Chains A and B, each alone.
Chain A
Amino acid sequence: MSPRPSRVLLAAGAISAVVACAPLVYLAVRTFDAGLATVLDTLWRQRTAALTVRSLSLAIGVALSCLAIGIPTAWLVARAKLPMRGLWLVLAALPLALPSYVAAFAWVSTFAGFAGFFAAWLVLTSISTPYVVLPVAAVLRRADPALEEVARSLGRSRWRAAAATTLPLTAPAAAAGALLVALYVLSDFGAVSVLRVDVFTRAIFASYRASFDRTGAAVLSLVLVALAFLLVWLEQRTRSRAGSWRVGGGTRREAPLIDLGRWTPLALLWLIVSSAIALGVPAYGLAIRMAEGRRFGIDVPELASATASTVGVAGAGALLATALAIPVGILAARYRTRSTRAIETGAYIGHSLPGVVVGLSLVFLTLTLLPGMYQTVLTLAVAYTVLFMPNAIGSVRTATSQVPPVLEQMARSLGRSPVRAWTDVTARIAWPGVAAGALLVLLTAMKELPATLMLRPTGLDTLATELWTRTEIASYSQAAPFAVALVLLAALPAFLVSRTMGGQASGGHE
């Protein structure tokens, strides 16, 4: 029963979708410019096959180990009666705050020679497990205890009742979380580069930087994007099926906490060990290198200038992303037509795009079409917008849909023009949510590494690129202050996410 959106709003939304899709479209066009033969030739190289096998093995391996570790952890933090319950939930969510390259750097600098496939598996599993823990724990906390009670009244034991009722409820959330982990691993550039694992992202970056093999890098990018799209499609299918599991009606009771009795120490040991691997080792590594660096002295001016430029470029990205997200978010909240859905899908494309692909596409696009824009803050802001606009759209959409449309109609009937009605009523009520979304984009963009490496203006260094440069030349103690600064900045959104965690882990790129 929703009326049609105004043409101005549709046009603004369409512009946002075009900005989001332009880099990928241009990349595809450029790739096939090289001729189908060249593309197929690159595609059939043995190296491409090896990269595909290695990338998928890493993604699937990490996803499976996250499931194996994440589901028991989720059950413990959600349903078990444990001492210091709140602490364990925070510890389980905290690895989200670690950018993958910071964690990898901490491990490398602690254990000499730590590198390769299994090293990357370990590090990526340790920081990605929250993507499974948080949604599964949320489902477990919301699960109606009446289901288990009914199963027990029908003669099942406590464990069999749980296995028959609550466990199946968590399956869609766990599967969606695991697919998100796989997507995150496939897109990850930082950890695999620091730990020297040849997967798509690292190969793309290497062939872009070393030989400037444009076609090679572009073809690999397209294969990677295809895999990412497949994962996102699977994830959304799983999630939409998860929606139909919910049965409404009545107010639900809080599920009672289960006393583990003599198993309590074992449960605590499990949580302590997994937290020690995910958080303890990186914290120890960073602390050691910090202490070491203190002896040589921290380059405070450099740290300050890197922090300032990080905030500056990420701020530009957050402003642009939010500005472009506003029309899309309003359309998504207020109107459900075919064209608004198309706009939303287009604007969300960055959710499936690895940062290295967006970086590469924008390098091509600016060098060819807009040479004046190559390696400018604006182009970098566009990259952040493409990657993180989905977060901003989500915030605008949620904030807008909480304002009933009838309020805007009342303002119109009392003499306000459509724009004034929006600014005087909807915007006034929704702005805190929109601002929180912009802040989230800002904090996420601060940690971005691959696109920043490729697109930053010459001479501009962010915390992430400073850290990167120093890990490349193995000057670990000099890198530590930048890593610590990044962790402190990144902890903020993880804190926000764990506090407002409604059930879905929102994707945070590296």
Chain B
Amino acid sequence: MSRLKVASLEAAYDDDVVVRDLDLTVEDGSVAAILGPSGCGKTTLLRCIAGFLKPRAGTITLDDRTLVAAGVVLPPERRGIGVVPQEGALFPHLDVGRNIAFGLPRGQESRRRVDELLDLIGMPGAHGLAPSELSGGMQQRVALARALAPAPGLVLLDEPFSALDAGLRASLRDDVRRLLNLTGTTAVLVTHDQEEALSFADQVAVMRGGRIVQSATPDEIYMRPSDLEVARFVGRLIELPGSARDGRATTSLGVVDLIDASITGDVVVALRPEQIELAADGGGSGVVESMTFFGDDHLIQTRLPDGSSVRSRRSGPPVYRPGDTVSAMIVGPATAFSTT
């Protein structure tokens, strides 16, 4: 239940600067996702917030408490920040109950708190189990319970779902999100999985080369990425060359309205597959090349008369088959980036 503020942070391993001039604010009670490819510095950022790594410069505050500033570095044990690392990292020599109680003072009160948390994570009565007896998903639940037990102002989640298989990952993600809402805990999730970031967080910060390049709500990140690289990173992208004038761009698929009307000249129009709509057309201009079926939706690759191809996403049962002739059009408005 705290507001995290990171300003002008710089962190390095020996002489290798991994995080530079980084600013980030996470509002009280909200969940932020730090999204980036491996090696972008996102785990380093997390380690600086947790106190496992001493930053070179910058400040970190939690509400009105200074965690890091010039000459001040609070040790991790005095920060009151919960951490859920990859693979859970449960203490192998302690049972589930003692793992959860690790950060609590000894006593009756703590025992009640452990019971409460076991109920919350859907594992009532699991006190006596050894970590080695738990499945991967259960280990992560216990790790979360252990982090939440002392009621920290902030919880840091370091790719906690990455070791789990797809089905379990989605359900555990929902459970964790529900728990964080329930307890009103501010949280920061680090992940390289864009779907996870977009579905889990209130706020997504895209990180690249040690900096945050865009921080916004998930739908804004998806629909209005700040540059082409962010656009490519957060989802499937169709890039169509075109020329822009008066808030509209002309492309091989026709004219489309632009979100940013101020842009002019040669552009790349960045589209999501669901922005391409197909229509059956006997004398049509495009030919369906391939169809990839995912169950709940499918992707169709269409070759255009100019030789380029576009992918479109449709839900429901597949209608078009390879070889069908179709016409494609854009559902706007769209984002465009100047190429001049």
Which of B51, B75, B79, B91 has the most C-beta atoms of chain A within 10 angstroms of its own C-beta?
B91
Residues 54-113 (chain B) with a chain A CB within 8 angstroms: 75-79, 81-83, 85, 89, 91-93, 102-103
Between-chain CB contacts (< 8 Å), 26 pairs: A3-B52, A3-B53, A404-B89, A407-B91, A407-B92, A409-B52, A409-B83, A409-B85, A409-B89, A410-B89, A410-B91, A412-B75, A412-B76, A412-B77, A413-B147, A414-B77, A414-B82, A414-B146, A415-B77, A416-B77, A417-B75, A417-B77, A418-B75, A425-B91, A429-B92, A429-B93
Contact of B333 with A by CB under 8 A: no
What residue of chain A has the Cβ atom nearest to residue B16's Cβ? A1
Contact with A along B146-176 (1 / 0, CB 8 A): 1100100000000000000000000000000
B51's contact among A407, A413, A416, by CB below 8 Å, is which?
A413
Q: How far is the CA of A414 from the CA of B81 in the complex (A)?
A: 8
B103, A415: Cβ atoms closer than 8 Å: yes
Min Cβ gap A128→B in Å is 40
A414, B92: Cβ atoms closer than 8 Å: no
Which of B50, B75, B93 has the most C-beta atoms of chain A within 10 angstroms of its own C-beta?
B93
Residues on A facing B (Cβ under 8 Å): 1, 3, 404, 406-407, 409-418, 421, 425, 428-429
B83's contact among A410, A421, A428, by CB below 8 Å, is which?
A410
Which of A413, A428, A429 has the most C-beta atoms of chain B within 10 angstroms of its own C-beta?
A413
What residue of chain B has the Cβ atom nearest to residue A425's Cβ? B91
What residue of chain B has the Cβ atom nearest to residue A337's Cβ? B14
Min Cβ gap B14→A in Å is 9
Do A413 and B81 form a contact, CB below 8 Å, given A1-B13, A3-B53?
yes
Q: How far is the CA of A3 from the CA of B14 in the complex (A)?
A: 9
Determine chain B's interface SS by DSSP, over half rule: loop
With A413-B81, A415-B78, A425-B91 already in contact, 11 other A-B pairs whose C-beta atoms are closer than 8 Å: A3-B52, A3-B53, A407-B89, A410-B146, A413-B50, A413-B77, A413-B83, A414-B103, A414-B147, A415-B103, A429-B91
Contacts of A416 in B (CB 8 A): 77
Min Cβ gap B238→A in Å is 38
Residues on B facing A (Cβ under 8 Å): 13, 50-53, 75-79, 81-83, 85, 89, 91-93, 102-103, 146-147, 150
B52, A412: Cβ atoms closer than 8 Å: yes
Q: How far is the CA of A421 from the CA of B51 in the complex (A)?
A: 14
Contacts of A412 in B (CB 8 A): 51-52, 75-77
Contacts of B50 in A (CB 8 A): 409, 413
Q: How far is the CA of A3 from the CA of B78 in the complex (A)?
A: 19
Q: How far is the CA of A410 from the CA of B75 in the complex (A)?
A: 13
Contacts of B13 in A (CB 8 A): 1
Q: How far is the CA of A413 from the CA of B77 in the complex (A)?
A: 5
Q: How far is the CA of A411 from the CA of B102 in the complex (A)?
A: 8
Q: How far is the CA of A221 from the CA of B89 in the complex (A)?
A: 51
Which of A404, A410, A425 has the most C-beta atoms of chain B within 10 angstroms of its own C-beta?
A410
Which of B51, B52, B150 has the most C-beta atoms of chain A within 10 angstroms of its own C-beta?
B52
Q: How far is the CA of A412 from the CA of B138 in the complex (A)?
A: 23
B102, A414: Cβ atoms closer than 8 Å: yes
Contacts of B52 in A (CB 8 A): 3, 409, 412
Do A428 and B93 form a contact, CB below 8 Å, given A412-B51, A413-B83, A415-B77?
yes
B89, A414: Cβ atoms closer than 8 Å: no
A-B residue pairs, 10 tightest by C-beta: A414-B103, A412-B76, A413-B83, A406-B89, A415-B77, A413-B76, A412-B77, A429-B93, A409-B52, A414-B102
What residue of chain B has the Cβ atom nearest to residue A413's Cβ? B83
A413's contact among B79, B91, B93, by CB below 8 Å, is which?
B79
Q: How far is the CA of A3 from the CA of B103 in the complex (A)?
A: 24
What residue of chain B has the Cβ atom nearest to residue A410's Cβ? B89
Contacts of B75 in A (CB 8 A): 412, 417-418
Contacts of B78 in A (CB 8 A): 415
Contacts of B103 in A (CB 8 A): 413-415
Contacts of A425 in B (CB 8 A): 91, 93
A406, B102: Cβ atoms closer than 8 Å: no
Contacts of A418 in B (CB 8 A): 75
Which of B76, B85, B89 has the most C-beta atoms of chain A within 10 angstroms of its own C-beta?
B76
Contacts of B77 in A (CB 8 A): 412-417, 421
Q: How far is the CA of A425 from the CA of B103 in the complex (A)?
A: 13
Q: How far is the CA of A413 from the CA of B83 in the complex (A)?
A: 7
Q: How far is the CA of A3 from the CA of B50 in the complex (A)?
A: 14
Contacts of A409 in B (CB 8 A): 50, 52, 76, 83, 85, 89
Contacts of A407 in B (CB 8 A): 89, 91-92
What residue of chain A has the Cβ atom nearest to residue B79's Cβ? A413
Min Cβ gap A418→B in Å is 8
What residue of chain A has the Cβ atom nearest to residue B101's Cβ? A414
Q: How far is the CA of A418 from the CA of B76 in the complex (A)?
A: 9
Min Cβ gap A335→B in Å is 12
Do A413 and B82 form a contact, CB below 8 Å, given A1-B13, A3-B53?
yes
Which of A3, A412, A428 has the most C-beta atoms of chain B within 10 angstroms of its own C-beta?
A412
